[in-house]
A and B are shown apart, each in its own frame.
Chain A
Amino acid sequence: MKVFVSGMGVFNSIAHNVKQFENSLKTNICGIKSVEYLHDMKVSLPIGMIEKFSLEDSLRESCNQDEFFYKNTLKSIKRSPYVVQTAVIPAIEAWNYAQLNNSDIDMGNVGLIVGGQNISQMYHYEMFQKYREQLEYINPTYALHYMDTDCVGTLSEVFGIKGESFSVGGASATSNVAIIKGYQQIKFGINDICMVASPINHLSPLEVQAFYNLGALGGRKYRNLPKEACRPFDEDHEGFIYGQGIGVLILESEDSVKRRKVHPLVEIIGGSMVLDSNRLSAPSEDGEYLAIKKAIKEAGLMPKDITYVNAHGSSSPKGDDVEAKVIKNIFQDDLSNIHVNSTKSFTGHCLNSAGITEAIATILQMKGDFLHSNLNLHKPIDNDIPFVRNTLEHISVKYGINNSFGFGGINTCLVLKNVV
């Protein structure tokens, strides 16, 4: 059973919808700014933060004049944690994009996979601060909201989803894991349609400080020039830059797409997850190599068939170095065939939602015949790899891959085929 992407929605520091995302990628808009995330330290860090916005206004806009849907949705999310409220907006965009709002479908065959673990850390942190001395006054709804599956329950309520649904984790590779699980679910015939949604990974000061102490967080040298801080594959890369983003894809079986007479965007033709047997943060050449090779093989392709690589490219020195070596190794005979970029230079590293944000960037580039640049790539760490230097127009890509690698030795790769 073929699996297609029939809808998408996005919300991050450079876009509140798919159209804006495409424009921002084409015109080199960087969403990273100086934020005093660690209030106690009074230190600003470069972060791809989502600016304050009106939930009601954004919700109303995405609801497309459907007043009934707007009122009911607002009721469901009015006092939900930030990560749940914000997830609903691009979910509605994706749902409408796939024309599911107008479709007569069996909701028992529609599933939902939320790509995210520990998504609402900030919420826990704030609750702890507020109630540590007066535990008995803790809001009872915390018992519902503390779980990542609050997002599953809420989205299923908003859309009426009743098929097999759950949340998944994979560290920085989470969304690829979620997409692959959705792809397998449909291939296996469990669901006809699957909404894959990755909410904001809302870090608390604890995680940000820990990443900083670990040396994983970048932005020291370019603290005062936040837009230059995220430099995937550049010699001045220092570490990843935290980004906030939400991505939603609607995956759908070929049968369902034909039945509903909708136009699919791309086909998912391969996906792999390979572990390093290593709980730590170091990237592995072997693991990444195997993951990419496996995914391409599953897609029934050879490296020479791939013309686009959306790299994990997190701006971490070790990570970028290893990934560059692996790309060179896999595509060694066809290096001039491929184009490589990293969407993280625009949005920062959205952690849970990195993979899905980058899958959407991949789809937009495939459908729009363009390739976005690599921001801040002034001195590449490798001069043989064809990194995209400036936005390229009139480029058609038939087969592209999307890499995501996570702490704990988790390596994933997704292969997408453009649908004419």
Chain B
Amino acid sequence: MSKEEIYQILKSNIILILDEVPEEDILIHKSIKELGGNSIDRVEIVTITSEDLNVRIPAEELGSVKNIEDLVNKFYEKVVQ
């Protein structure tokens, strides 16, 4: 699975949870907070994406994730392991 594919899955889950965000507003350098999501939205998005990709990201590893790009990289790291 490529990083681009991961990004697309993550993007569709962001749209699912933050349903008022227009797709064109979602850019890889942005954070979920910037897109209007709160901390619960963020955990939900990560959980649903983890289930889709069949991986697990321990909560302590999410501290270093600052934006969507970091999140894509983190998921990629787990997928290739």
Chain A contact residues, CB within 8 Å of chain B: 75, 78, 134, 136-141, 144
Is B28 on the interface with A (CB-CB < 8 A)? no
Contact A139 B40 (CB under 8 A): no
Q: Name the prevailing secondary structure of the A interface residues.
A: loop
B9 to chain A, nearest CB (A): 14
CB-defined contacts of A137 to chain B, threshold 8 Å: 47, 50-51
Interface contacts (Cβ under 8 Å), in number, total: 19
Q: How far is the CB of B54 from chain A (nearest CB, A)?
A: 9
19 chain-A/chain-B pairs, Cβ below 8 angstroms = A75-B20, A78-B19, A134-B51, A136-B50, A136-B56, A137-B47, A137-B50, A137-B51, A138-B47, A139-B44, A139-B47, A139-B48, A140-B40, A140-B43, A140-B44, A140-B47, A141-B40, A141-B44, A144-B40
Cα–Cα, bound, A75→B18 (Å) = 10
**Separation in Å of the B77 CB from the closest CB of chain A?**
17
Determine the distance from Cα of A78 to Cα of B20 in the docked complex, in whole angstroms: 12
Minimum C-beta distance from A154 to chain B (A): 14
The smallest beta-carbon distance between A147 and chain B, in angstroms, is 15
Q: A residues within 8 A CB of B56?
A: 136
Q: Which of B24-81 contact A (CB under 8 A)?
A: 40, 43-44, 47-48, 50-51, 56
CB closest chain-B residue, reference A74: B19
Most buried by B among A136, A138, A140: A140
Write out the residue numbers on chain A whose beta carbons fall within 8 Å of the beta carbon of B47.
137-140
Alpha-carbon distance A134/B50, docked complex (angstroms)? 11
**Distance of A141 Cα from B56 Cα, bound (Å):** 18
CB distance from B37 to the nearest CB of A (A): 13
Closest B residue, CB atoms, query A140: B43
Enumerate the 3 nearest inter-chain pairs by beta-carbon distance, A residue then B residue, closest first. A137-B51, A140-B43, A136-B56
Instruction: Report the nearest A residue to B57, measured CB to CB.
Output: A136
Q: Whose C-beta in chain A lies nearest to the C-beta of B17?
A: A79
Closest to A143 in B: B40
CA gap between A75 and B47 in the complex, in Å? 21
**Residues in chain A near residue B50, CB distance under 8 A:** 136-137
Residues of B within 8 A of A134 (CB): 51
By a CB distance below 8 angstroms, the chain A residues around B43 are 140
Considering only CB atoms, which chain B residue lies closest to A144 in the complex? B40
- Give the chain A neighbours of B19 by CB distance below 8 A: 78
B59 CB → nearest A CB, Å: 10
Chain A residues lying within 8 Å of B20, measured Cβ to Cβ, are: 75
Given the complex of chains A and B, what is the CA–CA distance between A136 and B56 in angstroms? 8
Bound-state CA distance A139–B40 (Å) is 10
Per the bound structure, the CA–CA distance linking A78 and B44 in Å amounts to 14
CB distance from B25 to the nearest CB of A (A): 17
C-alpha gap A139/B13 in the complex (Å): 13
In the bound complex, what is the Cα–Cα distance between A341 and B47 (angstroms)?
Answer: 52
Measured between C-beta atoms, what is the minimum distance from B58 to chain A in Å? 10
Q: Identify the closest chain B residue to A78 (Cβ).
A: B19
Measured between C-beta atoms, what is the minimum distance from B47 to chain A in Å?
6
- Kindly list chain A residues whose C-beta atoms are within 8 Å of the C-beta of B48: 139
In the bound complex, CA of A411 to CA of B34 (Å): 54
Residues of chain A with a CB closer than 8 A to B40's CB:
140-141, 144
Report chain B residues within 8 Å CB of A78.
19
- Minimum Cβ distance to chain B for residue A3 (Å): 38
- Which A residues lie within 8 Å of B51 (CB)? 134, 137
Extra contacts besides A137-B47, A141-B40, A141-B44 (8): CB < 8 Å: A75-B20, A78-B19, A134-B51, A137-B50, A137-B51, A138-B47, A139-B48, A140-B40
A141 partner residues in chain B, CB cutoff 8 A: 40, 44
A140 to B51, CA, bound (A): 13
Least CB separation from A137: chain B residue: B51
Give Cα distance in the complex from A138 to B51, angstroms: 9
Docked Cα-Cα span, A139 to B44, in Å, equals 6
Query: In chain A, what residue has the closest Cβ to B56?
Result: A136
Q: Which residues of B contact A139 (CB under 8 A)?
A: 44, 47-48
- For the complex formed, measure the closest distance between the CB of A216 and the CB atoms of chain B, giving whole angstroms: 39
In the bound complex, how far is the Cα of B43 from the Cα of A144, in angstroms?
13
* A139 CA / B47 CA spacing, docked (Å): 7
In the bound complex, how far is the Cα of B47 from the Cα of A144, in angstroms?
15
